[in-house]
Amino acid sequence: MNFRFTDIILPLAIRGRFTYLIPDEFAGALKPGIRVLVQFGNKKLYSGIVCNLHNEGTGIKKIRPVKAVIGTAPVVNELQLRHWKWISEYYMCSEGEVMKAAMPGGLFLKGEAGSPVVEKYRPKEEIFIELASGFTDEQLNDILDNLAKAPKQYEILSAYIRISGYESGSEIKPVRKSLLLKESASSPAAIRALSEKSILKSVSLTVGRLQDTDGFNEPLRVLSAQQLIAFNSICNSFKGKDVTLLHGVTSSGKTEIYIHLIEEQLRKGKQVLYLLPEIALTSQIVLRLKKHFGSVTGVYHSRFNDQERVEIWNKVSDENPQSSYRLILGVRSSLFLPFSNLGLVIVDEEHDGSYKQHDPAPRYHARDSAIMLASYHGAKTLLGSASPSIESYNNVVQGKYGLVELKERYGLINLPFIILANTREAYRKKLMVSHFTPELLQAMDEALGRSEQVILFQNRRGFSPYIECSECGWIPVCIQCAVNLTYHKGINKLVCHYCGFTRELPARCESCNSPGMITRGFGTEKIEDEVKLVFPAARVARMDQDTTRGKYAAGRIIKALEEGRIDILIGTQMISKGLDFENLTVVGVLNADNLLNYPDFRAHERSYQLLEQVSGRAGRRQKQGKVIIQTSDPANKIIRMVLRHDYPGMFRMQAEERKTFNYPPFCRMIRISLKHKDKASLNKYSDYLGNDLKSKFGKRILGPEFPLISQVQSWYIKTILCKIEKEKPAAKARQMILESIQRLERTKGTSSLKIAIDVDPY
Ligand code: ADP
Ligand code: ZN
Ligand code: ZN
């Protein structure tokens, strides 16, 4: 039966699917998941994804036809379409926004009506050289003899024979031209001469852009007795529960257990998705995985370019078990890859905040979306952490998730010994050297003396968080955002961490004209400077957003640390997670106070997790590590709990607090942000929306209020917070909120108002 209409997802922020007419020429060619080109608006052409075909009219008189069908096979499968729909409903965005986040840009086409469209993705071609015909060994010997007077050509031909391993009757293998030139130390002219004599010829072949991933298929390591118990408990838990939390102290060998679980799934022919919060972590773990699983292992993160992403996408949907990726290691967006047969999803460091996408929509949480994805595949999800999120642990307490615990480090090494260093006292007694307490200096000194490595953690990048006039207290702020500019010494500029705006350092105060501008506070860059002064002989490196911009930058730093080419590594939270170094024995936390004092309901939970994680980098292989936490408040409850590695205590305290003050996981939270360049209009519209919502939800609505950062890039911001009881049907609440927003959007003059909805904004 021929269908007349198709519903299409277009990469737009407009809610809903779009109906188009199927012209006769495309009857039969359309199916769910295939790409089509359609016109939307006056001129623009978009590539959309076909969702379904039907014969129901839409009531709209003039339905436009599909302009073109791209490719012959679907690029998105039906499980993905279902998952996109769930994300768009749960996170209150359009399916088009999910599509944009999900698919590599290289799969999109865009154009103007009337002009031809071309695929953005181009397979990469490279020139190869091969024998012009299947010469016998004798013929080849004659040819080589005749080349005696042309040594360059002789070198090329013999290099070709050597590299390709050619002999009489064997297959003619192409060899990369670049390799041939390098190996023979010869010139392109020599190759040309040989082609003219019909001895060699060049061919252009398609090559992959992805790095070769040949593995060694090393056997798996034998699990310790503790690990084996945990492994079996996980398998048992999966019999009754779809999600299980593996709560294992740092370095208890969780990764090793994942590897055993992965092996089991791959053996069954299933796919596995292994999520990590941070690109920086992928390089170390991918090596551990490739050792065992070789070329079925693929990596996915945002540093790959569009063309590479298309190739990864294709290798996941590839059905050939020889050439496809069946194990994907990646950051949050890898859950959008075209999996067709998942058996297991692992969410490592499940508590980590970078699983949540804040901007742009879809503002999804990768852990929660991955659990949903797994359920569509009938797969299981394993969450792993040394310091689980309050919401996941609460799901365990409620009986929704299974729990498996590992309480000891692998090899029975003790958890690191934690020392609190009181900065207030050290300042008072004038014992501080730059930003280092005597305790930290001594521990570093001892470690370096034993040729061991140190990491220093400071959760702020740049040199100093702001500069200030010593006379009048004037602070340079971003011209577009209401935030202080951070001083970056390397580029000698002030930088806005919200919008990227940069400016020169003012030589004089722009308020009182005094020349006394001084730096305040400290970031990783300043610590790096100070460390170099205090330990001039040490090899120092820094790992933060500024030093890891390239695709392999983070991997290079980690490799250097692994190979012992770095003595002291300074970094932001990037270095706190998952990394495993043999010779790293001392961890210093330069300032725990700014973690604890962050104004957010999760600040204490996050501080505990971060301190526990970063401590966990110390002393993982042979001996107990040492951690020095610098704080002006050593009596702080959270710090005391870190000292005792008392996760249950932290959980009880936080759960109690959240219950009392009605915070997640004991309520649902939806945050609406309104942005406008005109403050008065912003106030007017947000009051309108706030009142409308209050008339429906009463006291569940908080605000509108200016948030901590109330202006970014010359947009003023106000937020409204909805706190909805867990017991109330969430879909209905979302619907009511949407209706209010749409009512506001329909009122006149709101076209320059931006509204963003964030579900679970934490
Ligand atoms: P986690 O993921 O819990 O932090 P890892 O899996 O990284 O812990 O293990 C910590 C260290 O112990 C790693 O260096 C790892 O290679 C080693 N290790 C863990 N389990 C085993 C095992 N069964 N056999 C040999 N080494 C192991
Ligand atoms: Zn700014
Ligand atoms: Zn001044």
Q: Report DSSP letters for 144-191, one per residue.
A: HHHGGG-HHHHHHHHHHHHHHT--TTS----EEHHHHHHHHT--HHHH
Specify the pLDDT at position 570. Answer: 96
Q: Is the CB of 248 under 6 A from ligand 1?
A: yes
Pocket test for ligand 1, best of 220, 227, 247, 255 (most atoms within 8 A of CB): 255
Specify the pLDDT at position 287. Answer: 87
What Cα–Cα distance (Å) separates residue 666 from each residue in 550, 582, 607, 721? 41, 41, 20, 15
Q: Which atom of ligand 1 is the closest one to the Cα of 248?
A: 3
Could you say which ligand is closest to the alpha carbon of residue 284?
A: 1
Distance CA 651, CA 370 (A): 24
**Does residue 111 register a pLDDT over 70?**
no
Specify the pLDDT at position 223. Answer: 95
Site of tokens 């310091």? 387
Q: How confident is the model at residue 537 (pLDDT cuts 50, 70, 90)?
A: very high
Q: Report DSSP letters for 78-121, one per residue.
A: HHHHHHHHHHHHHTT--HHHHHHHHS-GGG--EEETTS----S-
Q: Is the CB of 284 under 6 A from ligand 1?
A: no
Please give the average per-residue pLDDT across 668-687, as a whole number. 95
Classified as helix, coil or strand, 196 is helix
Q: How confident is the model at residue 116 (pLDDT cuts 50, 70, 90)?
A: low
Closest Cα to atom 10, ligand 1: which residue? 251
Could you say which ligand is closest to the alpha carbon of residue 512?
A: 3
Q: Which atom of ligand 1 is the closest one to the Cα of 386?
A: 3
Percent of the chain with pLDDT over 70: 98
Q: Which of these ranges, 47-61, 145-159, 525-539, has the smallest mean pLDDT?
A: 47-61
Q: Which atom of ligand 1 is the closest one to the Cα of 249?
A: 3
Cα 477 to averaged position of ligand 3 atoms, centre (Å): 14
Q: For residue 2, which amino acid is it?
A: N
Specify the pLDDT at position 626. Answer: 93
Going by the DSSP 8-state scheme, the letter that residue 526 receives in this structure is H
- Furthest-apart CA atoms within the chain: distance in Å: 95
Cα 155 to averaged position of ligand 3 atoms, centre (Å): 73
Distance CA 330, CA 281 (A): 9
Q: Is the CB of 247 under 6 A from ligand 1?
A: no
Q: Is the CB of 254 under 6 A from ligand 1?
A: yes
Could you say which ligand is closest to the alpha carbon of residue 709?
A: 2
Cα 357 to averaged position of ligand 2 atoms, centre (Å): 20
* Cβ-contact 709, 748 below 8 angstroms: no
Q: Is the CB of 357 under 6 A from ligand 1?
A: no
Specify the pLDDT at position 117. Answer: 65
Distance CA 98, CA 363 (A): 9
Cα 543 to averaged position of ligand 2 atoms, centre (Å): 23
Could you say which ligand is closest to the alpha carbon of residue 472?
A: 3
Cβ neighbours, 10 Å, residue 437 = 25
What Cα–Cα distance (Å) separates residue 82 from each residue in 51, 79, 730? 10, 5, 19
Cα 100 to averaged position of ligand 2 atoms, centre (Å): 26
**Does residue 110 register a pLDDT over 70?**
no
Site of tokens 């929509």? 361
pLDDT digits (tens, 9 = 90+) for 725-734: 988 888 899 9
Closest Cα to atom 26, ligand 1: which residue? 221
Pocket test for ligand 1, best of 247, 254, 410 (most atoms within 8 A of CB): 410
**Does residue 71 register a pLDDT over 90?**
no
Specify the pLDDT at position 173. Answer: 87
Q: SS in 3 state form for 381-424?
A: EEEEECCCCHHHHHHHHCCCCEEEEECCCHHHCCCCEEEEEEHH
Please give the average per-residue pLDDT across 10-34, as a whole number. 92
65 Cβ neighbours under 8 A, 6+ residues apart = 20, 21, 22, 23
Q: Is the CB of 221 under 6 A from ligand 1?
A: yes
Cα 497 to averaged position of ligand 2 atoms, centre (Å): 7
Q: Is 753 left (phi over 0), alpha (psi -120 to 50) or beta?
A: beta
Cβ neighbours, 10 Å, residue 116 = 6
Cα 241 to averaged position of ligand 1 atoms, centre (Å): 26
Name which residue leads in pLDDT, 113 or 541. Answer: 541
Specify the pLDDT at position 97. Answer: 97
560, burial (CB in 10 Å: exposed 0-12, middle 13-18, buried 19+)? middle
Specify the pLDDT at position 429. Answer: 94
Classified as helix, coil or strand, 345 is strand
Q: What's the angle, vertex CA 276, arms to CA 272 and CA 278, rounded to 5?
A: 150
How much is the pTM? 0.86
Q: Which atom of ligand 1 is the closest one to the Cα of 348?
A: 2
* Paired sense of beta strands 517-520 and 380-385, if any: unpaired
Name which residue leads in pLDDT, 120 or 390. Answer: 390
Cα 754 to averaged position of ligand 3 atoms, centre (Å): 37
Could you say which ligand is closest to the alpha carbon of residue 510?
A: 3
Please give the average per-residue pLDDT across 736-754, as a whole number. 92
Q: Is the CB of 620 under 6 A from ligand 1?
A: yes
How many Cα atoms sit within 13 Å of 587 on the Cβ side?
Answer: 33
Q: Is the CB of 410 under 6 A from ligand 1?
A: yes
**Does residue 58 register a pLDDT over 70?**
no
Cα 713 to averaged position of ligand 2 atoms, centre (Å): 5
Q: How confident is the model at residue 276 (pLDDT cuts 50, 70, 90)?
A: very high
* Cβ-contact 733, 693 below 8 angstroms: no
**Does residue 211 register a pLDDT over 90?**
no
Pocket test for ligand 1, best of 261, 284, 286, 580 (most atoms within 8 A of CB): 580
285 Cβ neighbours under 8 A, 6+ residues apart = 255, 274, 276, 329, 578
Cα 458 to averaged position of ligand 3 atoms, centre (Å): 29
Q: Which atom of ligand 1 is the closest one to the Cα of 255?
A: 6
pLDDT digits (tens, 9 = 90+) for 571-624: 998 888 778 888 999 999 999 988 887 778 888 999 999 999 888 888 877 778
Could you say which ligand is closest to the alpha carbon of residue 485?
A: 2
Q: Report DSSP letters for 701-748, one per residue.
A: EEEEE--SS-EETTEEEEEEEEEEETTS-HHHHHHHHHHHHHHHHHST
Cα 530 to averaged position of ligand 3 atoms, centre (Å): 27
Cβ neighbours, 10 Å, residue 752 = 11
Please give the average per-residue pLDDT across 176-183, as a whole number. 88
Name which residue leads in pLDDT, 110 or 451. Answer: 451
Distance CA 477, CA 361 (A): 28
**Does residue 99 register a pLDDT over 80?**
yes
pLDDT digits (tens, 9 = 90+) for 450-471: 999 999 999 888 888 888 888 8
Tokens representing 570? 């300074």
Closest Cα to atom 24, ligand 1: which residue? 221
Percent of the chain with pLDDT over 90: 59
Distance CA 664, CA 683 (A): 28
Strand partners, 670: 722, 759
Helices (H), 574-706: 593-596, 603-615, 637-643, 647-661, 679-697
pLDDT digits (tens, 9 = 90+) for 338-348: 999 999 999 99
Please give the average per-residue pLDDT across 709-732, as a whole number. 89
Pocket test for ligand 1, best of 229, 246, 251 (most atoms within 8 A of CB): 251
Q: Tell which residue, 557, 562, 491, 566, has the closest CA to residue 535.
A: 566
Q: Is the CB of 251 under 6 A from ligand 1?
A: yes
Q: Is the CB of 615 under 6 A from ligand 1?
A: no
Closest Cα to atom 5, ligand 1: which residue? 253
Q: Is the CB of 95 under 6 A from ligand 1?
A: no
Q: What's the angle, vertex CA 555, arms to CA 553 and CA 556, rounded to 5?
A: 65
Q: Which atom of ligand 1 is the closest one to the Cα of 616?
A: 4
Q: Is the CB of 252 under 6 A from ligand 1?
A: yes
* Cβ-contact 659, 621 below 8 angstroms: no
Specify the pLDDT at position 115. Answer: 63
**Does residue 213 register a pLDDT over 60?**
no
Classified as helix, coil or strand, 425 is helix
137 Cβ neighbours under 8 A, 6+ residues apart = 167, 168
Q: How confident is the model at residue 302 (pLDDT cuts 50, 70, 90)?
A: confident
Distance CA 422, CA 435 (A): 12
Q: Which atom of ligand 1 is the closest one to the Cα of 256?
A: 6
pLDDT digits (tens, 9 = 90+) for 28-39: 889 999 999 999
Distance CA 724, CA 669 (A): 6
Specify the pLDDT at position 270. Answer: 96
307, burial (CB in 10 Å: exposed 0-12, middle 13-18, buried 19+)? middle
Cα 706 to averaged position of ligand 2 atoms, centre (Å): 17
**Does residue 477 register a pLDDT over 60?**
yes
pLDDT digits (tens, 9 = 90+) for 248-257: 998 899 999 9
Cα 356 to averaged position of ligand 2 atoms, centre (Å): 22
- 360 upstream amide cis, omega within 30 of 0: yes
Specify the pLDDT at position 56. Answer: 83
Q: Is the CB of 253 under 6 A from ligand 1?
A: yes
Cβ neighbours, 10 Å, residue 33 = 17
Q: Is the CB of 255 under 6 A from ligand 1?
A: yes
Cα 475 to averaged position of ligand 3 atoms, centre (Å): 8
Calculate the average pLDDT of the chain: 90
241 Cβ neighbours under 8 A, 6+ residues apart = 400, 401, 402
Specify the pLDDT at position 552. Answer: 82
Q: Is the CB of 288 under 6 A from ligand 1?
A: no
* Cβ-contact 21, 65 below 8 angstroms: yes
Pocket test for ligand 1, best of 228, 231, 246, 256 (most atoms within 8 A of CB): 256
Q: Is the CB of 619 under 6 A from ligand 1?
A: no
Please give the average per-residue pLDDT across 411-431, as a whole number. 91
Classified as helix, coil or strand, 539 is coil
Q: Is the CB of 49 under 6 A from ligand 1?
A: no
- How distant is the alpha carbon of residue 135 from its chain centre? 52
